Structure 1
Amino acid sequence: MIRRPPTVVCYICGREYGTKSIAIHEPQCLKKWHNENNLLPKELRRPEPKKTEVRSIIAKGFYDLDALNEAAWTSAQSQLVPCNICGRTFLPNRLIVHQRSCKPRVAK
């Protein structure tokens, strides 16, 4: 059985990165997030995502990677905004595109 190397979920975008590259990715991702957030209309701008601290540590002193990833995934999902027509959730810049074609359902 081949073991996959451990990955860490980015708390901003929700993507998985290697344990070495996450430290490089997160500052770049946060900068990109700020640039995109500043381009949004005022009503769609969000507060900066905060990295959640996970205090769950295994007895040998290692972080519980599953708990850390779960907290990061929850943080990334909290960035999604629901469509006021259909209720689906999107990143704010994609919500604008979605709303151009979203139509209310007609009851039959």
Structure 2
Amino acid sequence: MIRRPPTIVCYICGREYGTKSISIHEPQCLKKWHNENNLLPKELRRPEPKKPEVRTITAKGFYDLDALNEAAWTSAQSQLVPCNICGRTFLPDRLIVHQRSCKPKAAK
């Protein structure tokens, strides 16, 4: 069986990165997040995402990657904003595009 290399989930965007590249990705992702957040209308702007603090260390002295990834995934998902018409969740910049075509369901 081929074992997949360990990955860490970005707490901002929710994508997986290698253990070495996550430290390069996170500052760039946060900078991109700030740029995109500043372009949104005031009502859709969000507070800066905080890096989750997971202090679970295994018996061998390693971080529990599953707990770390779960906390990061939850943080990334909390960045999504629900559509006030259909309730689906989107990133704020995508919500604007979605709302152009989202129509309330006709009453039967």
Q: Same fold (TM over 0.5)?
A: yes
Question: What SS class does the counterpart of residue 33 from structure 1 fall into?
Answer: helix
2:77 paired residue number: 77
CA RMSD of aligned residues (A): 0.5
Question: What SS class does the counterpart of residue 100 from structure 2 fall into?
Answer: helix
Q: Deviations over 1:32-89 (max 9, x none)?
A: 0000000000000000000011011101110000000000000000000000000000
1:61 paired residue number: 61
Partners of 1:14 and 1:67 lie apart in 2 by 14
Question: What SS class does the counterpart of residue 3 from structure 1 fall into?
Answer: coil
Q: Count how many residue pairs are aligned between Structure 1 and Structure 2.
A: 108
Identical columns (%): 93
TM-score (norm 2): 0.99
Q: How far is 1:106 from its partner?
A: 1.1
2:36 paired residue number: 36
Partners of 1:44 and 1:80 lie apart in 2 by 10
Partners of 1:101 and 1:27 lie apart in 2 by 34
| Structure 1: runs of 5+ lacking an equivalent | none
Question: What SS class does the counterpart of residue 8 from structure 1 fall into?
Answer: strand
Q: Deviations over 1:13-36 (max 9, x none)?
A: 000000000000000000000000
Partners of 2:27 and 2:66 lie apart in 1 by 22
TM-score (norm 1): 0.99
Partners of 1:61 and 1:47 lie apart in 2 by 33
Q: How far is 1:107 from its partner?
A: 2.5
| Structure 2: runs of 5+ lacking an equivalent | none
Partners of 2:105 and 2:91 lie apart in 1 by 22
